[in-house]
Amino acid sequence: MYAVLGLVAFVTFAASDMPFITLPLGFVFFIFHLNLNLNFQRPHDPIMAVILCGGTMASYAVSGWITGITATLVFNAVLEKMGGADAKYFRTVDAAPKEHSLETPSPSSTTLQ
């Protein structure tokens, strides 16, 4: 998802007359953010434009991964402080009803008549 946003940011940059593009590296979590902004000038060479497009997508993807990891760690820390999650809200795959099972029957269990 974030890499797609990076592609959209680059296409917007390429279609506009902005002199530089800012690539963020870090996390964005509601009103809190911690990131390193890398500013790149508009490339004059098509090969450098392709490299900058890949860098933009990678920068946004890495920021998305960092944001996801941060959100997971914060969620787990808050849940632990609140006493954990009640196990009645969770179900394992083994406890799933058989009619909803994704397993296919084995050939030895079917008989031909």
Quick: pLDDT tens for 45-93. Answer: 889 989 999 999 999 899 889 888 988 898 889 888 888 777 677 666 6
Q: Give dist(CA 29, CA 69) in Å, integer.
A: 11
- For residues 71-105, b (16+ Cβ closer than 10 Å) or e, as one string? eeeeeeeeeeeeeeeeeeeeeeeeeeeeeeeeeee
For 29, the enclosing helix (H) or strand (E) is: strand 20-29
Mean pLDDT across 97-112 = 58
Band of residue 112 on the pLDDT scale cut at 50, 70, 90: low
pLDDT score at 108: 59
Whether the Cβ atoms of residue 18 and residue 11 lie closer than 8 Å to each other:
no
CA max distance for the chain: 76
Quick: pLDDT tens for 11-56. Answer: 998 889 889 888 888 887 778 778 888 899 998 888 998 999 999 9
Whether the Cβ atoms of residue 9 and residue 21 lie closer than 8 Å to each other:
yes
